[in-house]
């Protein structure tokens, strides 16, 4: 006699939980273009935008002459009174907008460098790109008589910084290029050596300059947002308006270059041309951001890694890195203005003080993980 046949009920399989039913990605479409965006990344972007706007309002509101938040919002909406409108529009708003734009440019540039080299230490302020931009900008300041705050022929500073940064980037790439490719470890080492040489060249230029010109250049070299005007907003904004879409257009090679070369090549990425294009864009972002506020440390180094941890992505996120850089710089500038009031620190001093222990921590983590190369 055969054993009775038993059936397994359908509900014996594990039921789908609410977390399993929740979509992990959203489809975003714009005309013929579309992409799947992780929900956590989208929420991170929205949160960073809100924090950045709150930082903008706080930066405009706080100071020796405090302005209530409702009056700040009224000025933004065009309904503010004369006194508040004058302080905000002429003094505080250009500085705050410059901080947001420069921070976003540094954050995006740092993300590109770290993605292309696959090295979290590859930051323009460590590998000589900011120093190269500094040499070009200091040359423009000393030769053209441009003040650190941007009065006079400020237009010479961005072009000098761009020329210096592009030339430095080309030299570093050629020296790091070997056997048809570059490695992040060699790129960083060559960049650090170039950074030392360029810093020495800058000091030599300052030593031979007139004392008034040298003092103006030294204020700029510390990284400061004091006295920023709408001409700085225009240059930093132009950099993002032109270069951000070009960088986003290279999002696919940007993502694939964070894997090994064989994987990227097998998926159809022209490694050499993709690297050169992304490095040129990152160099231009660094140069124009540096020309507007000086070689501010830490933002390009820390923003990509902070954004990666906040967004929970295995690779360095592009847009989140730019937004994180903007938030970091405007909050750092707010702290530099208010923490020791009435004494005001250059924002580069504060970011450098924060960035030094962060760099040591990053070096320790990199060595423990065996990712030095």
* pLDDT tens profile 278-320: 999 999 999 989 988 888 989 999 999 999 999 988 889 999 9
Q: 48: domain CATH number? A: 1.10.3470.10
DSSP string, 218-267: HHHHT---TT--HHHHHHHHHHHHHHHHHHHHTHHHHHHTTS-HHHHHHT
Q: Please tell me the distance from the alpha carbon of residue 251 to that of residue 355, in angstroms, as a whole number.
A: 28
Distance CA 307, CA 318 (A): 9
Question: What separation, in Å, do the N-terminal and C-terminal C-alpha atoms of the chain show?
Answer: 70
Which ranges of the chain does DSSP label H, i.e. alpha helix? 18-21, 39-61, 69-76, 82-87, 93-117, 129-144, 156-176, 184-207, 211-221, 230-249, 251-256, 261-266, 271-293, 299-311, 318-338, 347-369
Contacts of 311 (CB under 8 A, 6+ apart): 38, 40, 41, 44, 317, 320
pLDDT confidence of residue 261? 77
Domain count, the chain: 1
Residue 210 lies in a domain: yes
Which distant-in-sequence residues (6+ apart) come within 8 Å of 19 by Cβ?
none
pLDDT, residue 300, reads 93
Name the 3-class secondary structure at 292. Answer: helix
CA–CA gap between residue 254 and residue 235 (Å, rounded): 25
141 vs 252: which has the higher pLDDT: 252
Range of the domain at 306: 41-369
Answer whether 55's CB lies under 8 Å from 334's CB: yes
Residue 286 lies in a domain: yes
The DSSP secondary-structure symbol of 298 reads S
Whether 263 is in a domain gets the answer yes
In a domain, 230, yes or no: yes
CB 126 within 8 A of CB 114: no
- Residue reference for tokens 């909406």: 77
Residue 155 has pLDDT above 80, yes or no: no
In a domain, 10, yes or no: no
Q: Is residue 323 part of a domain?
A: yes
Whether residue 123 has pLDDT greater than 50: yes
Question: For 209-223, what is each residue's pLDDT tens digit?
Answer: 888 778 878 877 888
Q: What is the pLDDT of residues 59-101, one digit of tens each?
A: 999 887 888 888 888 888 877 667 777 888 888 899 999 999 9
Domain contains 307: yes
Report yes or no on 21 lying in a domain: no
Q: Cα–Cα–Cα angle for 163, 166, 172, nearest 5°?
A: 135
Higher pLDDT, 182 or 258: 258
């Amino acid at each position: 006699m055969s054993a009775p046949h038993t059936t397994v009920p359908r509900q014996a399989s594990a039921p789908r939980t609410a977390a399993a039913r929740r979509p992990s990605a959203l489809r975003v479409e714009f005309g013929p273009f579309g992409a799947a965006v992780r929900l956590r990344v989208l929420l991170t972007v929205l949160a960073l935008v809100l924090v950045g706007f709150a930082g903008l309002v706080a930066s405009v509101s706080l100071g020796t002459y405090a302005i209530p938040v409702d009056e700040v919002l009224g000025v933004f909406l065009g309904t503010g009174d004369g006194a508040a409108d004058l302080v905000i529009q002429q003094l505080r708003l250009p500085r705050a907008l410059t901080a947001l734009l420069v921070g976003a440019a540094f954050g995006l540039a740092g993300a590109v460098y770290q993605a292309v080299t696959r090295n979290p230490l590859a930051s323009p302020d460590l590998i000589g790109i900011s120093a190269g931009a500094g040499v070009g900008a200091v040359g423009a300041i000393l030769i053209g008589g441009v003040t650190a705050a941007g009065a006079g022929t400020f237009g010479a500073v961005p072009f000098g910084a761009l020329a210096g940064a592009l030339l430095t980037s080309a030299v570093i790439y050629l020296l790091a290029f070997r056997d048809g490719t570059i490695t992040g470890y060699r790129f960083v080492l060559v960049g650090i050596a170039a950074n030392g040489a360029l810093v020495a060249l800058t000091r030599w230029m300052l030593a031979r300059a007139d004392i008034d010109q040298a003092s103006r250049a030294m204020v700029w070299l510390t990284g400061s947002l004091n006295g920023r005007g709408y001409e700085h907003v225009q240059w930093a904004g132009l950099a993002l308006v032109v270069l951000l879409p070009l960088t986003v257009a290279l999002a696919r090679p940007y993502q694939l270059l964070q894997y090994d070369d064989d994987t990227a090549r097998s998926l159809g990425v022209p490694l050499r041309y993709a690297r050169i294009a992304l490095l040129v864009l990152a160099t231009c972002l660094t140069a124009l951001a540096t020309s507007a506020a000086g070689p501010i440390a830490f933002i390009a180094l820390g923003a990509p890694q902070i954004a990666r941890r906040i967004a929970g992505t295995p690779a360095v996120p592009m847009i989140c890195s730019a937004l994180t850089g903007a938030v970091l710089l405007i909050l750092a500038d707010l702290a530099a203005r208010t923490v020791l009031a009435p004494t005001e620190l250059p924002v580069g001093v504060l970011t450098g003080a924060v960035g030094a222990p962060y760099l040591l921590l990053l070096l320790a983590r990199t060595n423990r993980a065996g990712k030095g190369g």
